[in-house]
Amino acid sequence: MTAKQKVLVVDDEPDILEMLKYNLEREGYDVQTASDGEMALRLAPQFLPDVILLDIMMPKLDGVETCRQLRTQTDLANAYIIFLTARSEEYSEIAAFEVGADDYLTKPIKPRALMSRINALFRRELKKSNQSAHDLVEIADLKIDKSSYTLEKNSELIALPKKEFELIYFLAQNPNKVYSREDILKHIWGQDVYVLARTVDVHIRRIREKIGDDYIRTVKGVGYKFVLPDEE
């Protein structure tokens, strides 16, 4: 019997927790809830959710800081984190992606639209898992293994959140090929996820902070490409 996909819902509004839990369970997901960030940090390592729905404005610990701390936990590196918030300002969205969010939805949440997005997310994951003939990419001193979602530099393991890993894996599969931000958004986030093109820049910067500036080049006015460190 196939295990149920797990979803952790974190929100300080009881009505939203109840509504989302009901709709997710009706779709067949295993659901747990938390009413604040601190509770989420205690629960997540035990529950090991596949998806975390995370409110931003919460008491004790806001969603941004909660996300930042969740992303430091190795067991949660592959979990999708989707922010649910009443705030729609661009800087809030950028702040969410800065700390490792995968998606961003504004309230009021429409249950059918949310279920459709989560279901599509798992369909994409299933499709990717069935296309695993070339899971390992080795270039220069980097070893990028899609089967285990791990990246090594000079045999040293470097932890990357899921979207950052998928981005560098995507670029590294075709060195020197230039991809626009729109190409990257389509391949990494999918056509049904609406995020800013600036999101790509944020993720590229975070990858460079971890592996260095030599692997991903910016092509001004176009996008990004993966190169060998010694290429000019």
CATH of residue 208's domain is 1.10.10.10
* DSSP code string of 100-163: T-SEEEESSP-HHHHHHHHHHHHHHHHHHHT--TT-EEEETTEEEETTTTEEEETTEEE---HH
Query: What pLDDT is stored for residue 128 in this prediction?
Result: 56
The answer on 211 and 108 residing in a single domain is no
Domains held by the chain: number: 2
Q: What is the pTM of this model?
A: 0.63
Query: With a cut of 70, which residues of the chain have pLDDT below it?
Result: 1-2, 87-93, 124-134, 191-195, 229-232
Query: What pLDDT is stored for residue 50 in this prediction?
Result: 92
Query: What pLDDT is stored for residue 32 in this prediction?
Result: 97
The answer on 94 and 18 residing in a single domain is yes
Sign of CA dihedral 199, 209, 43, 124: positive
Query: What pLDDT is stored for residue 92 in this prediction?
Result: 66
Boundary-marking domain end, from 66, 94, 129: 129
Euclidean distance between CA atoms 56 and 54, whole angstroms: 6
Query: What pLDDT is stored for residue 221 in this prediction?
Result: 84
SS3 88: coil
Query: What pLDDT is stored for residue 124 in this prediction?
Result: 64
Query: What pLDDT is stored for residue 232 in this prediction?
Result: 45
Range(s) of the domain holding residue 58: 6-129
Q: Considering only CA atoms, which of 61, 68, 63 is closest in space to residue 53?
A: 63
What residues form DSSP beta bridges with 31?
A: 7
Which amino acid, 155?
S
Helix or strand run (H / E) with residue 46: helix 37-47
